[in-house]
Every structure is written in structure tokens, then in C-alpha cells.
Amino acid sequence: MASPLEQFRIKPLVDISVGGVNASFTNSALMMMITVVGVSALLYFSMRQRSLIPGRMQSIAELSYTFVANMLRNNVGAEGRKYFPFVFTLFMFVLIGNMLGMIPYSFTFTSHLIVTLGMALVVFIGTTTIGFMKHGLHFFHFFLPHGTPIYLAPLLIPIEVLSYLTRPFSLALRLFANMTAGHTLLKVFGGFVAGLGIIGIIPLAAVVALTGLELLVAFLQAYVFAILTCIYLNDALHMH
Amino acid sequence: MPQFDPSVWSPQIIWLIVSFVALYYIMSRFVLPRLNEILEEREFRISDSLRRAENLKQEAEQAVAAYEQTMADARAKAQAQIQASHERAERLAAERQAELGDRLVDEIAAAEARIAAARTEAVAGIRDMAADVAGLAVEKLVGTRPAAENVLAAIDDTLKRAS
């Protein structure tokens, strides 16, 4: 029987190499593309009627719009409007990526640390750049919050710098670990179902319950990723 | 774990960038402006309808106020008219009553005068007739006719005693 980790294997579909760098179109890339096309088609065609009273599909599109818009407004404020397309894209990309991963035999690209780290680094570098562009060198005050006694500075500044620098890694690891652990667990229990015969009904029930849990986690992690992006953005725009 | 095999990092990063940029472009260029437009139009329609409803409500309230004002005016006017005609009727009735009373008093007085005259006349007639009858009766009994003055005096005396 295949290892529970087999599902995370990258399989090249089309071998491509750009300047000596491996840029093969893999199963991971395929799922990313399906996500892009799926999100675009879902949102674009659900609004074709532009009805004043939304139908079922239009409601989905409008709900996701207002959901992310409210998240951004509550956490960042009016200044965050500029970054709405980015946060919306990020949320939909992660959410649909997670959800598509729940389909049996498909692939979850968010279970790869390099992918989540790529997104987390974009968020990290982006928010840091915004912080320095808006506040200049004052952005360094971020590491010494207002009202801190000066004698605590030698202790506090390293802690703050460290916690700031670990942000992209915690952001990336959280999504990667949740997805990997959940899918591995599903696979392990799935293996028990086949191996235990009639008693396999017990792990089967567990798999059913875990699938529901994983759907929740798939949404929750997309939400957490987006809301942490909003919080980092708020830190960059408004400091503490 | 396949995740920690560095040979699969570069294709994933490259395709992540490609797909994310594509999705960002589609979202910011086509999808989000359209969604925003729809939501704003709905908001506008709702607020517009609310404003119109508010206006209509105010108009209705004004109409009700005007109607009530008209009703109150009409009622007051009717009341005044009723009052006026009532007063006029009372005055007229009083006048008529007074007039009737005067006339009745006059008529009573006239009738009383007439009655008195008739009575005097009747009494005078009775006196003359009684004198004649008495004269004749005395003539029959005595054979001579008494003097008219004596008869009249006797009659007067009798009448005085009778009345």
C-alpha cells in the first residue's frame, strides 16, 4: 500500500526548463491553474445576470466580496482599500486551493511549505515595504512600542525584531502543517478502513467525521491566512 | 516527505507566481470592479427607494394634516352657523310671542269693552222693558197708569237689590 505521504508527491506532467531552472508543469501547477480558472469562472459567470436581487451563484460571489471587504475594513480601515484585490486574491486562492484538495485523488498545493512560504514571504516583504514607504525610518519604532521604559529596550527590541521576522514562517507553517496533517490523517484512517475488513466501519466513520473537520479547517486556514495578512498590513500602515 | 525535496521547489514557486499573478490580474481587472458596481448599484437603489418612501410619507402626513385642518374649519363653521340660526330663530320666536301677546291684550280689551257695552245696552233694554211691563201690569191691576219716573225708580231699586 502507498505511504500516506504519497499524496504529496510532485509529479511532473510537462517537463519545462527555463535557463537551466526546472520549471516543469506539475500536478501542483495543474491544481493552481484549476484554482485560477475555477475562481475566475465562478465569480465571473455568477455575475453575468447582474441582477438586483442576487441568485444563488451571485450570492456566493457577493458574499465572498463582502466577507473579505469587511475583514479588511475591520482590521485595517479605509486605508486598506488599495490592497483589497490582493487580499481577496490571496483568500480565494488559498480557500479554493484547500477545497479542491478535499476532492479525492486531487492534489493540495497548500500542503507544500514552499508554496505557503512563497505567499507568506510576499505578504511579509510587501507589508514591510509598505511600512517603510509610509513611515520611513520611523517604522523602526515599531520594535519599541510607545510607553515602554527605556531600560527595557535592550530586552524588548530583540524580542520584537525576532517576533516580526518569524511572522512569514509562522504564517507559512500554520497553513502547511494544517493541510499536511489533515490529509495525512485522512489517508491513515483510509488505510485502516481497507485493512480491517468489517471492523473497518469504525475508521470509516472517523474518516467521514474527519472529512467534515477538514472542510472546516480548509476554510478556517484560508480565513486565518487572510486575516493575518490584514493584521500585518494594519501594523505596517498604522504601526501599533 | 516530498515537501522537503528541494528539486520540486523551483517549479512550484514559478507556477505559484504565474497562477497568482494571473488570478490577481483577473480579479482586479474584471471580477472585483464588476462586483463592486453591482453592490454599489444595489445600495444606491435601496437608499434611493428609502428616500422616496420617506418623501411620500411626508407628503401623506401633510395631506392628512391638511384634511384634518379642513375638517376642523368646516366643523367650526357649521357650529357657528348652527349657533347663528338658533339665535335668529329664538329672537324671531320671542318677537312673535311679544307681538301675539300685545294683539291678544288689545283684542281682550276690545272684547271686554264690547261685552261691557252689550251688557249696558242689555241692562238698559231690560230696564225699559221692565218699566213698560210694570206700567202695563199696574194699569191692568189698578186701572191707572203710574208715572214713568216712579216705575223706573222702583225698577232701579229692585235691580240694585238683585245685583
Closest residue to A29, CB basis, from B15, B23, B35 = B15
A22-26, B41-45, B51-55, B122-126: range with lowest mean pLDDT: B122-126
In a domain, B2, yes or no: no
Tens of pLDDT, residue by residue over A90-149, are 999 999 999 999 998 899 999 999 999 999 999 999 999 999 999 888 888 888 877 888
With CB atoms and an 8 Å threshold, state whether A119 touches B16. yes
Of A167, A77, A156, nearest to A119 (Cα)? A167
In a domain, B17, yes or no: yes
In a domain, B63, yes or no: yes
Residue A173 DSSP class: H
In a domain, B1, yes or no: no
Provide the number of structural domains found in chain A.
1
| A192 neighbors A185 (Cβ within 8 angstroms) | no
The complex's ipTM?
A: 0.91
In a domain, A50, yes or no: yes
Closest residue to B27, CB basis, from A9, A10, A85 = A85
AA identity, residue A211: T
What is the span of the domain harbouring residue A84? 6-238
Q: Which residues contact A163 (CB under 8 A, 6 or more apart)?
A: none
In a domain, B6, yes or no: no
Could you give the C-alpha distances from A139 to A35, A234, A237, in angstroms and in order? 36, 13, 10
In a domain, A52, yes or no: yes
Q: Is B16 on the interface with A (CB under 8 A)?
A: yes
In a domain, A1, yes or no: no
β-pair partners for B95: none
Provide the number of structural domains found in chain B.
1
Tell me the whole-structure pTM to 2 decimals: 0.74
With CB atoms and an 8 Å threshold, state whether A112 touches B38. no
Give start and end residues of each alpha helix (H) in chain B.
Answer: 9-26, 32-142, 148-162
Q: Judging by DSSP bridges, how do beta strands A17-18 and A25-26 pair with one another?
A: unpaired
Please give the pLDDT value at position A1.
55
Tens of pLDDT, residue by residue over B93-147, are 999 999 999 999 999 999 999 999 998 888 888 878 888 888 888 888 888 877 8
In a domain, B75, yes or no: yes
Q: Which residues contact A121 (CB under 8 A, 6 or more apart)?
A: A168, A172
What is the span of the domain harbouring residue B132? 11-162
In a domain, A41, yes or no: yes
| A48 neighbors A57 (Cβ within 8 angstroms) | no
With CB atoms and an 8 Å threshold, state whether A8 touches B28. no
